[in-house]
Amino acid sequence: MQLHYKKRNVSEHIQCFHCGEDCLDSSIHFNEKVFCCEGCKLVFELLDEKNLCTYYSLNSSPGVHHNAITPSERFLYLDEISVAQKLIHFSDGNESRIIFYIPKMHCSSCIWLLENLQKINTGINSSTVNFLKKEVLISFNKSAIQLSSIVSLLAYIGYEPLISLNDLEQKIEKKTNKSEIIKIGIAGFCFVNIMMLSFPEYFSLGDFYDQKNLKQFFGIVNLVLSLPVFFYSASDFFISAWKGIQQKFLNIDLPIAFAVLVTFLRSIYEISSGTGAGYLDSMTGIIFFMLIGRYFQNITYDNLSFDRDYKSYFPISVSVLRNNKEKSTPVSDLKMGDRILVRNNEIIPADSILESESTYIDYSFVTGESRPIKKLCGELVYAGGRQIQGAIELEVVKEVSQSYLTGLWNKESSSTKEAQSFIHLTSKYFTIALFTIALTSFLYWTLASDVNRGLNALTAVLIVACPCALLLSATFTNGNLLRVFGKNKLYVKNALVAEKLTIINTIVFDKTGTITHGSAVKFIGKNLTTEEKSIALTLAANSLHPLSRKIAEHFSNIEKCRVDNFQEILGYGIHGKVEGRSVILGSEYYVTGSKKAFSATASKVFFSIDGLVLGYFSVDSSYREGITNLISDLDKTYEVHLISGDNDSEKEVLKKIIQNENRLHFNQSPEDKLEYIKLLQNQGKKVIMLGDGLNDAGALLQSDIGISVSDDINNFSPSCDAILQGESFNKFKLFLDFSKCGKNVIVASFVMSILYNIIGISFSVQGNLSPVIAAILMPVSSISIVLLTTLSTSLIAYKKGL
Amino acid sequence: MSALIFLICISIIVALVFLVAFIWTVRSGQYDDDYTPSVRILFENEPPAKEKSIKK
């Protein structure tokens, strides 16, 4: 909504100096600068006082708009030692260091300001930003400033850190890929040096090389160089292969580990016996390339989290009332019987009984129901709803970890997702075939009493037929696939998910938030004055009709006034007296008396004051753009279902999108959704689920692939396999097609590399392959696979317009 | 021939120095954030801010 403001009518309006939003008038100003709200002005005043106005010269209006500044008491719970200890990373004497995650960070001005915090408060020693992770590391003087003051300072200047319950319960060890990079570095170093020392062998440089000691020296140096590669860089392959054996599962790492081992042993034998130079160059080279492939494939999105659970959705602290005193307490410390105070727009953290008279609770995120639900005093209120009327008091009846919502989430353990890549499946047969051939040839020669030749054959088969090529082509193709997806705002958790996209045959959509989204409101008619806007807002804010709420949201930064005689007439509209003037908002018929055709794309809300019609609010149909085309496209090859937690008021519209009525389901509880997915899976279907809210969490986990659709990827999204940004929703079919092409590329390049090897081995068996050509062929074949897969997937992506 | 052995030893030692340097850069976290420093370097060093804020 805020972004939306920015785009419109830029020329007509004065923009806030701080955040760039339109100002209603120039009443809020300071130093000849105009601001949209007091909050923005306060930030400017603070920065101006501390001589930090460079913030505004780096980018124009870089600030973050915030209507209400969170009162600093909200952060007091951070000062409790038990809480602070869990958050602080490092503490020594006076100095403590803490890392905050700040989702609002968006430009170089943000970096600049956040790295100059010490100029605002001298208790802060230094701060360092990691922009990609949206983190700031603050080191501060414990005795000079408290943790809560730092957080409230950040919140004050518009960068409130996101502290989730997760942070409090356990420290998450940040996975580092440092050792991975070092492994690649060492493998690369050794590979290149071994290659260099093998040149005399390749070119059979006669005279010098024939001297025994020189040849031996080269061999020994090569052997020494290969040790770190074998024992350190390749360790992952051995570990993974060993785990596979323990679990009686033939994974692709087993034949690779075996090939590496055999090559290494044979090379040692050849070098020590002086019969040859070994294959250390090939061994280190292939390890080097495979490590690069894995690194390339394991693309990570630093600022995205796929494994969020209820803990990151719930607020971290809540006001507990004890002896009429408010005390901010971490949610995890809530106990049964605690009285809590929940303000407007806050989330109810635990199942509790309403103590205030009545309230409205918006469960749209939890259940998918779009209309807020009225709750009366004494009723049980489930955790997870957003409270939308004033401040209410509640008595906690269940601890957070036992609430209804949490229970739903914990069901996840019942469904296990099989993590089987088709590469692993292929490699299973491949491995069996490979070992059979190797052993048969060995036995053949041994029985023919030529053990030496048998050993030769065994190692040759293993070395040449090692499925390294399959792994290489798969890792590079998948890595590139993930990159293309990421560029198009589909963030996939790992390569396995991208691969699984190819086997999907059933697609299940959620309605609210997935195929619908927050809609745009426009006023068409005369230019409204601030007063008129305020009147419309006042009236709309009193109604809970979805259209009224959208209008109220549209004017969220305007002050409300008083309303009398408010009345809502279902199906028509609302009216009341605002500031003594009679105001009507409602359907065209209700306001103007004339009736026109119903428009499916946009709803019109007419607005009149004292009988004079000023115009109408056009509220766009909230369906995502291109949804009809997308679904009819998908319908040709896939089975498309829709399950919604909402009521069936939009059934008629949806029937036009999904023709098969048996596949439309309304009023589905979160469990129903989960069961529905299970039912489809029991019919042998491979299901992909697209959802957004907590109500889809169970279904997302149960489905073969769960994609969470979100308009702002930094917002909360339930645990899933991929996050799709709303604007790329209409590309969904392309993504599915593209992943199929990716699989074809893997298969094609694998077949090609096998052919390579067969040709190679047939030559070498006949003794026609000179060592230099073999040495050139090895890296060339690897590199050509890498190039082929990367280029072809990029080309396909380009052709598909991704 | 011993010259050749000597040279190879030297070259590998030199290469090792670079490998160690590389490992050191990785360990010390120089590759952790490859974006922020590129922005940070463009910030100007301002005149000391303290005097002005006292004046106010």
pLDDT above 60: residue A58: yes
* CA A723/CA A713 separation, integer angstroms: 7
3-state secondary structure A307-354: CCCHHHHCCCEEEEEECCEEEEEEHHHCCCCCEEEECCCCECCCCEEE
* CA A19/CA A163 separation, integer angstroms: 24
* CA A528/CA A12 separation, integer angstroms: 13
Contact A52, A119 (CB under 8 A): yes
Query: In the structure encoding, which two tokens stand for residue A168, read together?
Result: 């409090």
Give chain A's largest Cα–Cα span: 111
pLDDT above 60: residue B53: no
Which of A156-170, A298-312, A651-665, A714-728 has the least mean pLDDT?
A: A298-312
Q: Model confidence over A247-292: pLDDT tens digits?
A: 877 777 888 888 889 889 888 988 888 777 778 888 898 899 889 8
Q: How many CB atoms lie within 10 A of CB B31?
A: 12
Percent above pLDDT 70 for chain A: 82
Q: Where are the beta strands (DSSP E) in A21-179?
A: 22-23, 29-30, 33-34, 88-92, 95-101, 124-130, 135-141
Q: Model confidence over A114-134: pLDDT tens digits?
A: 888 888 888 888 888 888 878
Average pLDDT for residues A471-500, to the nearest whole number?
86
| Structure confidence at residue A410 (pLDDT) | 58
Class of domain A478-517+624-739: alpha beta
A166 Cβ contact list (under 8 Å, min separation 6): A172, A309, A311, A312
pLDDT above 60: residue A528: yes
**A667, exposed or middle or buried, with CB in 10 Å at 0-12, 13-18, 19+?**
middle
Query: Cα–Cα–Cα angle for A241, A243, A245, nearest 5°?
Result: 70
**pTM value > 0.80:** no
Class of domain A521-620: alpha beta
If you average pLDDT over each of A91-95, A191-195, A426-430, which comes out highest? Answer: A191-195
Residue A212 sits at the chain B interface (C-beta within 8 Å)? no
Radius of gyration of chain A (CA): 33
Query: In the structure encoding, which two tokens stand for residue A331, read together?
Result: 């949610």
| Structure confidence at residue A210 (pLDDT) | 58
Residue A119 sits at the chain B interface (C-beta within 8 Å)? yes
pLDDT above 60: residue B48: no
| Structure confidence at residue A24 (pLDDT) | 66
In chain A, which segments carry CATH 3.30.70.100? 72-163
Residues in chain B: 56
Count structural domains, chain B: 1
* CA A75/CA A151 separation, integer angstroms: 7
A298 Cβ contact list (under 8 Å, min separation 6): A177, A180, A479, A494, A495
Give chain A positions within 8 Å (CB) of B41: none
| Structure confidence at residue A346 (pLDDT) | 77
Query: A607-614, long-range: CB within 8 Å, 24+ apart, which pairs?
Result: A607/A523, A607/A525, A607/A536, A607/A583, A608/A583, A608/A584, A609/A532, A609/A535, A609/A581, A609/A582, A609/A583, A610/A581, A610/A582, A611/A582, A613/A525, A614/A525, A614/A526, A614/A528, A614/A532
pLDDT above 90: residue A356: no
| Structure confidence at residue A70 (pLDDT) | 64
Give chain A positions within 8 Å (CB) of B1: 208, 211, 213-214
| Structure confidence at residue A28 (pLDDT) | 75
- Can you say whether the dihedral through the CA atoms of A767, A768, A771, A776 is positive or negative? negative
Q: How confident is the model at residue A224 (pLDDT cuts 50, 70, 90)?
A: very high
Q: Phi and psi of A489, rounded to 5°?
A: 70, 25
Of B8, B22, B23, the CB nearest to A221: B8
Q: How confident is the model at residue A3 (pLDDT cuts 50, 70, 90)?
A: very low
Of B36, B52, B53, the CB nearest to A129: B36
> A559 vs A789, which has greater pLDDT?
A789
pLDDT above 50: residue A415: no
Average pLDDT for residues A549-554, to the nearest whole number?
76
| Structure confidence at residue B52 (pLDDT) | 41
* CA A340/CA A329 separation, integer angstroms: 10
**A275, exposed or middle or buried, with CB in 10 Å at 0-12, 13-18, 19+?**
exposed
| Structure confidence at residue B22 (pLDDT) | 94
Q: How confident is the model at residue A2 (pLDDT cuts 50, 70, 90)?
A: very low
The CATH number of A314-412, from 3.40.47.10, 3.40.50.300, 2.70.150.10, 3.40.50.720, is 2.70.150.10
Give chain B positions within 8 Å (CB) of A213: 1
| Structure confidence at residue A581 (pLDDT) | 82
* CA A557/CA A800 separation, integer angstroms: 42
Q: How many CB atoms lie within 10 A of CB A786?
A: 21
pLDDT above 70: residue A67: no
**Which of residues 16 through 35 in chain B touch A, CB cutoff 8 A?**
19, 22-23, 26-27, 29, 31-35
Alpha helices in A157-279 (DSSP H): 165-169, 178-202, 206-209, 212-228, 235-246, 253-273
| Structure confidence at residue A4 (pLDDT) | 41
pLDDT above 60: residue B50: no
| Structure confidence at residue A413 (pLDDT) | 41
Of A54, A58, A197, the CB nearest to B46: A54
3-state SS assignment for residue A48: helix
| Structure confidence at residue A669 (pLDDT) | 79
CATH level 2 (architecture), domain A72-163: 2-Layer Sandwich (3.30)
Q: Phi and psi of A650, rounded to 5°?
A: -105, 20
**Closest CA–CA distance from residue B13 to any residue of chain A (Å):** 11
Q: Model confidence over A579-623: pLDDT tens digits?
A: 778 888 887 777 777 765 544 445 678 888 887 888 888 776 567
In chain A, which segments carry CATH 3.40.50.1000? 478-517+624-739
Of A54, A130, A186, the CB nearest to B36: A130
* Amino acid symbol at A10: V
In chain A, which segments carry CATH 2.70.150.10? 314-412
Q: Model confidence over A434-482: pLDDT tens digits?
A: 778 778 878 888 888 777 777 777 777 776 666 777 788 888 888 888 8
If you average pLDDT over each of A81-90, A590-599, A761-770, A772-781, which comes out highest? Answer: A81-90
DSSP string for residues in A462-491: HHHT-THHHHHHHHHHHHHHHHHHHHTTEE
| Structure confidence at residue A281 (pLDDT) | 86
* CA B18/CA A105 separation, integer angstroms: 37
ipTM over 0.85? The verdict is no
Average pLDDT for residues A367-384, to the nearest whole number?
78
Which of A301, A334, A306, A304 is CA-nearest to residue A320?
A334
pLDDT above 90: residue A33: no
* CA A115/CA B44 separation, integer angstroms: 13
| Structure confidence at residue B51 (pLDDT) | 42
Radius of gyration of chain B (CA): 23
Give chain A positions within 8 Å (CB) of B27: 178, 182
| Structure confidence at residue A463 (pLDDT) | 67
Host domain of residue B19? 2-55
Q: Which is it for strands A339-342 and A317-322: parallel, antiparallel or unpaired? A: antiparallel
pLDDT above 60: residue A171: no
Q: How confident is the model at residue A411 (pLDDT cuts 50, 70, 90)?
A: low
Average pLDDT taken over every residue of chain A: 78
**Helix, strand, coil content of chain A in percent (nearest 5):** 50, 20, 30
**Closest CA–CA distance from residue A109 to any residue of chain B (Å):** 10
Q: How confident is the model at residue A191 (pLDDT cuts 50, 70, 90)?
A: very high
Percent above pLDDT 90 for chain A: 5
Q: Where are the beta strands (DSSP E) in chain B?
A: none
Across the interface, do B26 and A185 touch by the CB < 8 Å criterion?
A: yes
Average pLDDT for residues A627-634, to the nearest whole number?
85
